[in-house]
Amino acid sequence: NFTSFYREPQHYDFLLTRALRDIAARKEALSSRRIRAWSAAAATGEEPYSLGMTFLEYFKDPSLWDIKILATDISSKVLNEAFEGLYTKEQIKAVSPSLRQRYFDSEPAKKGCLYRIKDQVKRLIVFRRLNLMDAAFPFQGPFDFIFCRNLLIYFDLPTQEAVIRKLLKYLEVGGYLFVGHSENLPMVFRGQVETLACAVYRKIK
């Protein structure tokens, strides 16, 4: 369950400078305002909240868009912590002072201060328990991008392939799949995706 805000920050930079621009342009061409993302190993919430803040930084008027982030994890315990959205100063050290001011409220605590994610970020996120090894998932998608990072390394190759196959099933053609920097997609999927950056893939069919 190790996680942190803006872990592997290059991925969030990629979202801000490339992926969200592409997604927004494709949606507008289809007269759509619906954007869906999935954080498939949400743990205690740092990743989906980082995604939520990235959305709010890119879309200056998010009320014009229908944005939702599905945040799933196998552990109900960590999901409860994620839903609470309360973090220590150490946990939010990777959040810049300006973002901290915009998206967190401080609360007094016995030792120093705690920081609670603001409702404007929480409203974008739906937390659900999910085992990625389940035969079927209780949603339809498709998602415009999926984060499934630093999880595949714990699986053997057949399990990795099974999980990735499911992720790609729920990913929009043209959508983005982000894995951990120490992870790679098995060669069997190379005809279905193209590599855009370190651990960033786009579904091509």
Low-confidence ranges of the chain (pLDDT < 50): none
Q: What is the pLDDT of residue 184?
A: 86
Kindly report the pTM of this predicted structure: 0.95
Q: How far is CA 46 from CA 149, 185, 187, in A?
A: 13, 24, 30
Strand order in the sheet with 200-203: 125-129, 66-73, 34-39, 143-147, 171-178, 200-203, 193-197
Element holding 25 (H helix, E strand):
helix 20-29
The CA-based angle 26-31-37, given to 5 degrees, is: 55
Helix (H, G, I), strand (E, B) or coil at 186: coil
Q: Which two tokens stand for residue 100?
A: 């901290």
* Separation between Cα atoms, residue 52 and residue 46, nearest integer Å: 10
Tokens 């995604």, residue? Answer: 51
Per residue in 87-122, pLDDT (tens digit) is 999 999 999 999 999 999 999 887 779 999 999 999
* Separation between Cα atoms, residue 170 and residue 130, nearest integer Å: 14
Q: Which two tokens stand for residue 82?
A: 């994620």
* Separation between Cα atoms, residue 80 and residue 103, nearest integer Å: 20
